[in-house]
């Protein structure tokens, strides 16, 4: 019997579609750093909420991602859906940070 793999973000069994996520984005020097396999919807959600700088500086581990309130709400919601479920995430409407 084949070992089942699970998404480290939502905990559901991995099924297509899935993606490889660089915990530190490639654009921020993460090309050869740690990666994780996530459902496509989970991966899309991460990138809809955070900039690449935020991912590199603040949310560069699954534990840190899961500490975010928006990710927690998403995980609670997505766990109610089958592993194959996919729904396009909309970009978060964030206010631009003011420069000092």
Domain locations along the chain: 18-78
100 pLDDT above the threshold of 60: no
pTM: 0.80
For residue 93, with 0-12 CB atoms within 10 Å meaning exposed, 13-18 middle and 19 or more buried, which class applies? exposed
7-11, 39-43, 44-48, 93-97, range with the lowest pLDDT: 93-97
In this predicted model, what pLDDT tens digit does every residue of 22-37 receive, in sequence order?
Answer: 999 999 988 999 999 9
3-class DSSP assignment, residue 6:
strand
The DSSP call for residue 26 is G
- Extended beta strands in the chain, E state: 18-22, 35-39
Residue 45, preceding peptide bond in cis (omega within 30° of 0): no
């Amino acid at each position: 019997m084949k070992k089942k793999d699970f998404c480290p973000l939502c905990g559901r069994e991995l099924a297509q579609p899935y993606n490889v996520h660089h915990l530190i984005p490639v654009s921020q020097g993460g090309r050869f750093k740690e990666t994780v396999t996530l459902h496509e919807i989970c991966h899309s959600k991460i990138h809809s909420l955070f900039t690449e700088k935020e991912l590199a500086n603040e949310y560069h581990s699954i534990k840190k991602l899961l500490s975010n309130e928006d990710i927690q709400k998403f995980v609670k919601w997505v766990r109610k859906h089958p592993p194959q479920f996919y729904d396009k995430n909309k970009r978060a409407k964030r206010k631009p940070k003011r420069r000092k």
